Structure 1
Amino acid sequence: MDQKFNKNKAGVRHLQCILLFVGNAVAFSLRVNLSVAIVAMTDKKNVNPNFEEFDWDEKVKSYILGSFFWGYVVTQIPGGYVSQRFGAKWPLFFGLLICSVSTILTPWCSSFGGWKLMFASRLLQGLCQGTLFPSCHVILSNWCPPQQRGVLASFAYSGSSLGTVIMLATSGIIASSIGWPSIFYFPGIAGLVWSVAWFFLGSSSPAKCKLVSAEEKQYIETSLGKSQEKTKEKLSTPWSKVLKCTPFWALVLVNSTTDWGYWTLLTQIPSYMKGVLRMDIAKNALLSSVPYCSMCIMGWVFIASAKVLRKRGHLSTEMERKLFNTIGTCVPMISLIGLGFVTSNATLAVALLVIACGFNSAVFLGFQLNHMDLASNFAGTLIGVTNCIANFTGVLAPLTVGFVVTNEHDPAQWRTVFFITSVIYFIGNLGFVIFGTTKEQAWNNPKSEKDELATAEELQPIKSEHNSDQDLEKSKIEDS
C-alpha cells in the first residue's frame, strides 16, 4: 500500500501545515499590533481623533509593550510538556482562542481599567501564545515525513513573517481611517475564525485524524519509523539524558544567539535610524514592514531552493540544516557590520536591513527544525526549553544596547552594537555547525531501551539454567 501512495500528492498533512501557516500569521499579528497601536493611543495628532487618548509616559508604555513577553516566557516549557503528553491540538486551540478574545477586549480594558488592566490583558495573551511554538513542533513532528519536514515545517512557520508584515503595513492606515481600536478588532476576529477552522480540521497526529486516508496515514507513520511507535504508556521526558546531550546544548546556543540578533534588529534599528540617519521609521508603518516583507518572501525562496536541492539529491538532512542556518546568520552578520559604517545614506541602511532580515529567514530551515530531528517524541518539550532560554535575550539585548549607546547620535557606539551582535551570530552558528546533528538520539525511544533491557534480563536466567543442566550431566558422568 505504501509503495502505491503518491507522496508528492497534496494530502491532509499539507492541510495541517496550511492551517499552522495561517495560525502563525494570526498569532504574530496579535503579537505586534500593539507596537503601532500604542502610538495612536497616546497621540491624536496623526490619527483618527474620534477615539480616546491616553496620557502614558515612556515608562508605562515600556511596561505595556514588555508585558506580553513576561507571560510568553512562563508557558514555553509547560506548553511543550502538555502538548507532548496529551496532544497539541487543544493547547494550540485554546491558546489562540483566548488570546483572540483578550485582544478584542483590549480597547475596553484600556478604557475601563487604564494601563494596569491593559498590562494584565497583554500578560494573558503572552501566557496563551507561549504554547504556540511547542504545539506547532509537536504537530509537525507527527505529521511531516523526515524527507518533507524541511519544506512543510518551514512553510508553516513562515506565516509568522506574513502576519508581522500585514499588521505593520496596515495598522497605520487603520488607525488614521477607522480608529485605533480596530487594530485590535481585526486580528482578534481573524483569530476567532481560525480557531473555528482548527477545531474542525486540525489534529494532533494522523492517528487521531478522521480526515486522513489509510494510505497517507501509513506513509507518514512508516516514514517516521520507530520514533512514532504506538505505546500504551505516556513517554516521560528523560531529563538527565537530555541535559547531557551535546547537540541539545548546541541548539540552545544557536537559538539564543539568533534571538539576540532578532531582538536587536526589532527593538533598536528604529532608534539607530532616528539617531544616526535622522530618519524616524518608528511612525512609518509601511517602511517598518519592508524588512519583514523581505523575510517573508526570502523564506519562500529558501523553501523552494531546499525542495529542489533535496529532490536532486544534493543535500542530506544534516547538510541542509547547517547550510541554511549558516546562510541565515552569516549574511545578516555581514550586513550588520556594513550597517555600522553607514552614517548618512538612509537608502543604503534600509537596503542592508532588508538583506539582514530577508536572509535571516533561512534559519527556519536550520536550527528551527532540529528539535524534531533529535527527538520527535519530545520536540515540543525541547523547543519549550530552548525558546524559554532564548527569549531572555529579548531583555539582555536591549540592556546591552542601553549600556553601550549613551549617545544615540554617535555612529561609533552603534558600530560597537552591530559588531557585538555579529560576533554573537558567528559564535552561535559555529557551535551548531560543529556540535549540532540531525541524528535521532537514543533517548527519543525510552520504551524501546526498556524493552531491550527487559529482554536481556529474561534471557539471563535461561542461560544460567542451561549451564546448570550441563554441570549436572558432567557431574553424573564423573561419578559413573
Structure 2
Amino acid sequence: MPEVKVDDDKFAEQAVDLLNNDPINLKPDKRFGKRHVQVVNISFLIFVAYYSRNSLSVAIVAMNDRNSTINPNIPTYDWHNKNIIQSAFSFGYVPAQIIFSLFPSRFDTKWFAIPLFACCSISGIATPTVVYWFKDKGIMVMRVIQGLCQGFVFPTIQLLLCQWVPPNERARLCGGVYTARPIATVLSMFISGHIAGSWYGWPWIFYISNALGLVWCLSYFLFSYDNPASHPSISADERQYIHKSIGHENKNRKIPWKDIVTSVPFWALVVAQAGFNWGFWTQQTQMPMYMKYVMKFDIESSGTLSALPYLVQWFLSYFFNFLSDYLINRKIWSIDTARKTMNSIGVFGPAISFILLQNCGPDESTKAVILLVFGVALNGACFCGFMINYMDVSPSFASLLMGVSNGACQTAGFLAPLFVQAIVKHERNHDEWKYVFYTAAGIYIVAGLTFIFFGSGKIQPWNSGKKIRDK
C-alpha cells in the first residue's frame, strides 16, 4: 500500500489551534480499529517489561530465606547487598534510555525492539544458572544487561502513541497503556510470592516472567506497525481520522535543543517524573521487605499484600482515564486543568499514605494494608497526569522528551534502594523505615507542587521545530 503523505505544517498549525483552544471536534471511528490493536500491543510491551523487572522484588527475598520453599534442593544465600542488586537494573537502563530517545525515528522499530527484548528475556531466563555459578555478582551483571535491553521501551512507546492515538482519546488510550504497569506489578508479586513458596522455588520466577517477553516479540512482529501510513490493512477512514486529529509528523525535524532545555514546562515534567520514579521505586523495591520484616508477614503473604494495592490501582486508573477525557471533551476542563488535577491526586494521595503508614505497628496490620492500598491506588492518576503530558507539550518530540526525562530520572531507580541501604541498617527496625517513607512523601509533594505551578497542557511554540528537507 502506498504511503499517505501528510502536510506536516498545515496539520501542525491545526493541531495547535485545536489543542490550545478547544478539544478535538473530529468524530472518532467508533469501531475497534487498528489503532486499538496497536495500543493493546504497546500495553503488552509495558506489561512484560514491568513483570520481568518487578519480579525480583519478591524473588530476592526468597533467595535469602531458607524457609521460603519446601524444596531442600533450591539454593539460598545470605546477601547483605540486596538493595544494590535491586539497583543494578537502572545502571543499564538509565544511559540506554537516553540513547534510544535520540535514535532516529525514520527506522522501523521492529529492527531494534524485537532483538533487544529477546536478548532481555533470554538474559532473565539464564539468571538462575548465572547466579548458581557467580552468586550476587552474576545477578548484578544480568540485571544491568536487562536494563540496557529495555532502554528502548519508553521512548519507543511515546513515538508510537504519538503516531496512533488522536488527542481526544489520549487519556483513555495512552493512560490505558500505562495501566499495564500496575497489573504487571500485581501479577508479578502475587504469582512470584506463590512460586517462591512452592516446590519449584525462586528460579521459576525468572523463567516464567521472562518467557512472556519472547511471546511479546512474536506478537509485535505479527501485528504492530510504526504508523497508520505503513499499516497494510487499516481502513481509509480510520487513517484519515488519525492523521487529521493528530496533525503532525514526527520525522525529519531538527531538534530545537536550546528551546527544550530552556522550556519551563519541560523542566516541570522532569521534576514530576523524578518525584514519581522515587516514590514508585520505593514502593516497588521495598514494600515486600517492609511487609516481611516490619509487618511480620510470611513470604507468600508479603507478595500477595504487596500486589493488592496495584490491583486496586489498575481498576481505579481506568476511572481516572475515562473521567479525564470525558471532562475535556465536554469542555468542563481544559487539558491543562485535567493533567494537573489528575497528577495532584496521583502524588499527594500517596504522600499522605506514606506519612500515616509510619504510625502503624505490627499489631495494626489491617490499618497498614488499607493505607498502602489507598496510597498506591491513587498513584495511578499520574497515568493521565504528567505521564501523557509529554504529548500535550510537544507531540513532535514527545519520544525525545520522555527518553531524556525518564532516562535521567531513572537514577531514582538505583538511588532510592541505595538510600534505603544507607538508612535501614536493621531491617526489622520500624524507626529506621520511617526516614524512608517520610523522604518519599516529601519528594512526592515537591514534585506535585512544581507541576501545578510550572506545568502546561499547551503545545509549545518550539514543537514545530525546523523541518529538514530530504535531499
Equivalent residue, structure 1, for 2:232: 210
SS of the residue aligned with 2:253? Answer: coil
Which deviates further from its counterpart, 268-277 or 387-396?
A: 268-277
**1:93 has 2:109 as partner:** no
1:12-161 counterparts in 2 under 5 A?
Answer: 12-49=34-71, 51-59=73-81, 61-82=82-103, 84-161=105-182
Aligned to 1:394: 413
Secondary structure in 1 matching 2:284? helix
Aligned residues: 444
Q: Aligned in 2, Cα 1:34/1:380: closer, same or farther, shift over 3 Å?
A: same
1:333 equivalent among 331, 344, 351: 351
Cα separation, 2, equivalents of 1:183 and 1:405: 27
Distance 2:42 2:408 in 1: 24
Find the aligned partners of 2:297 and 2:62 in 1 and give their Cα distance: 19
Displacement of 1:119 in angstroms is 2.6
Matches within 5 A, 1:272-311: 272-273=290-291, 277-279=295-297, 284-311=302-329
Q: Distance in 2 between matches of 1:447 and 1:183?
A: 48
Question: CA–CA distance in 2 between the matches of 1:366 and 1:188?
Answer: 30
Say whether the 8 Å CA contact 1:84–1:377 is kept in structure 2: no
Give, in whole Å, the separation in 1 of the partners of 2:85 and 2:77.
13
Aligned residue runs from structure 1 range 199-278, under 5 A: 199-225=221-247, 227-228=248-249, 234-273=252-291, 277-278=295-296
2:218 alignment partner, one of 164, 174, 196: 196
Aligned 1:305-454 pairs, distance under 5 A:
305-343=323-361, 344-401=363-420, 414-447=433-466
CA deviations over 1:73-111 (Å, ceiling 9, x no partner): 121111112163534444332332221122222223233
Shift of 1:4: 9.8
Looking at structure 2, the residues matched to 17 and 41 of structure 1 have their Cα atoms a distance apart, in angstroms, of 36
The 10-residue stretch of structure 1 (85-94 or 25-34) with the greater mean CA deviation from structure 2 = 85-94
More displaced stretch, 360-369 vs 157-166? 157-166
Q: TM-score when scaled to structure 1? A: 0.84
With normalisation by structure 2, the TM-score equals 0.86
Listed one character per residue, the Cα deviations across residues 340-373 of structure 1 (whole Å, up to 9, x for unaligned) are: 3333411101110110000001000000011111
Provide the C-alpha distance between the structure 1 equivalents of 2:322 and 2:28, rounded to a whole number of angstroms.
20
Secondary structure at the aligned position of 1:84 is classed as coil
Deviations 1:428-470 (A, max 9, x none): 111111111121122222235x89xxxxxxxxxxxxxxxxxxx
- Identical counterparts, % of pairs: 36
Look up the equivalent residue of 2:59 and give its one-letter code.
Answer: A
8 A Cα contact 1:88 1:139, kept in partner = no
Structure 1 stretch displaced more, 238-247 or 108-117 = 108-117
- Three-state SS of the structure 1 residue aligned to 2:187 is helix
Indicate the RMSD between aligned Cα atoms, in angstroms.
Answer: 2.7
1:178 equivalent to 2:200? Answer yes
> Per-residue CA shift, 1:141-189, capped at 9, x if unaligned?
1111111111101111111211111111111322314343322222222
Q: SS in structure 2 opposite 1:148? A: helix
8 Å CA contact 1:5, 1:215 repeated in 2: no
The 1:136/1:420 distance shift into structure 2, 3 A limit, reads same
Distance 2:391 2:47 in 1: 22
Question: Counterpart of 1:469?
Answer: none
Change in 2 beyond 3 A, CA 1:19/1:333? same
- The amino acid that maps onto 2:316 is M
Q: Does the 8 A contact of 1:22 with 1:194 survive in 2?
A: yes
Greater C-alpha radius of gyration: 1
1:288-331 residue CA offsets vs partner (Å, 9 max, x unmatched): 21122222222122223224333433222222111110110111
Quickly say closer, same or farther: Cα 1:416–1:322, change in 2 above 3 A.
same
Alpha-carbon distance between aligned partners in 1 of 2:104 and 2:183, rounded to the nearest angstrom: 25
Is the 2:85–2:139 contact (alpha carbons within 8 Å) kept by the matching residues of 1?
yes
Q: Does the 8 Å contact 2:57/2:284 carry over to 1? A: no
Give the letter for the 1:204 counterpart.
D
Contact 1:306 1:320 in 2 (8 A): yes
Instruction: Provide Cα deviations, 1:394-415, integer angstroms capped at 9, x if missing partner.
Output: 3333444555556666656544
